[in-house]
Structure 1
Amino acid sequence: MEINQMYVNLPVKDVQKTREFWVELGFSINEQFSDEKAICVIMKTDHIYAMFLKEEFFQTFTDRPLAEGKTTQTLLAIGVNSREEVDNMVKTAVENGGSIYSEPQDHGWMYQRAFSDLNGHQWEVMFADMSKIPTA
């Protein structure tokens, strides 16, 4: 089995501020799936999308309550092409209202940093040099 697309759906308080945040990070928006209730951020063209849905709209898709406050239901990990891209993304996220929630981790072959977006969703940004993975 192999999937051909992935849509991650996350609740947000303000769709417009969320749009501005992700555009500042350098991502494009799929306008076909975006409106005043939702924004579709293209993470990888034709394959990976983050759907940020206004909380009230998000709630129409589930009968379970939204996580509130200081809870964590998921950690979202994304890979980029260099250590510099990791640092730049986290820096830009913080400059635009996000926050850092853990210290950087450098494992030699993998470098990772993390930020929370405007709505508290936790994003782990990493670069891995697969040619440097230690062998057992």
Structure 2
Amino acid sequence: MSKMIFVNLPVADVARSTAFYQAIGMMKNDSFSNEQGSAMTWSDTISFMLLNHAFYSTFTPKRIIDATTTSGMLLALGLDSRADVDAITEAAIAAGGTELHGPEDEGFMYSRAFADPDGHGFGPFWMDPVAAANGPEHMADATA
């Protein structure tokens, strides 16, 4: 079995959050979804579990933060192109998300950022394959 990651996110409204994550390109896995939560597939090895607060609370004794006012984490999403970064960000905004920052272009890397309706932050980015493999300092060698 491949290594996998399941990102558990507390959400106020499972149906609203499910619609949002579908709008940004994730697929709902009905086999692992119910009224308490939705399993949203990002890739073969990455899923987001959107859990209502009551169900999320069964996994931790800690208080659930209000992600609209407190940052608990930022999730970077690696994409294949600058256009993909723009597309997912525009889809997120259209589906009720909030843009956290506009385009940032470092030459070897391009990014934007958005929050879902519950305030969870995402940073979609594209990185030049040479920089991804060797570090941004090698970009000068590749373009010289």
TM bin (shorter chain) = over 0.9
Q: Based on CA coordinates, which of the two structures has the bigger radius of gyration? A: 2
Q: What's the secondary structure of 2:102's corresponding residue? A: strand
Matched, 1:32 2:31: yes
Aligned AA (2:78): G
- State the Cα RMSD in Å: 1.4
Superposed counterparts of 1:45-60, under 5 Å: 45=44, 47-60=45-58
CA–CA distance in structure 2, aligned partners of residues 25 and 54 of structure 1: 20
CA–CA distance in structure 1, aligned partners of residues 23 and 72 of structure 2: 25
Range with greater deviation from structure 2 (98-107 or 120-129): 98-107
Structure 2 equivalent of residue 88 of structure 1: 87
**Structure with greater helix percent:** 2
TM-score (norm 2): 0.87
Superposed counterparts of 1:100-115, under 5 Å: 100-115=99-114
Query: Which portions of structure 1, spanning 4 or more consecutive aligned residues, are displaced by more than 3 angstroms?
Result: none
| Percentage of matched positions with identical amino acids | 34
Structure 2 equivalent of residue 75 of structure 1: 74
Specify every segment of 5 or more residues in structure 2 that has no aligned partner in the other structure, as ranges. none
Q: Deviations over 1:7-58 (max 9, x none)?
A: 010100011111111111121111111110011111112x111111001110
Aligned AA (1:11): P
Specify every segment of 5 or more residues in structure 1 that has no aligned partner in the other structure, as ranges. none
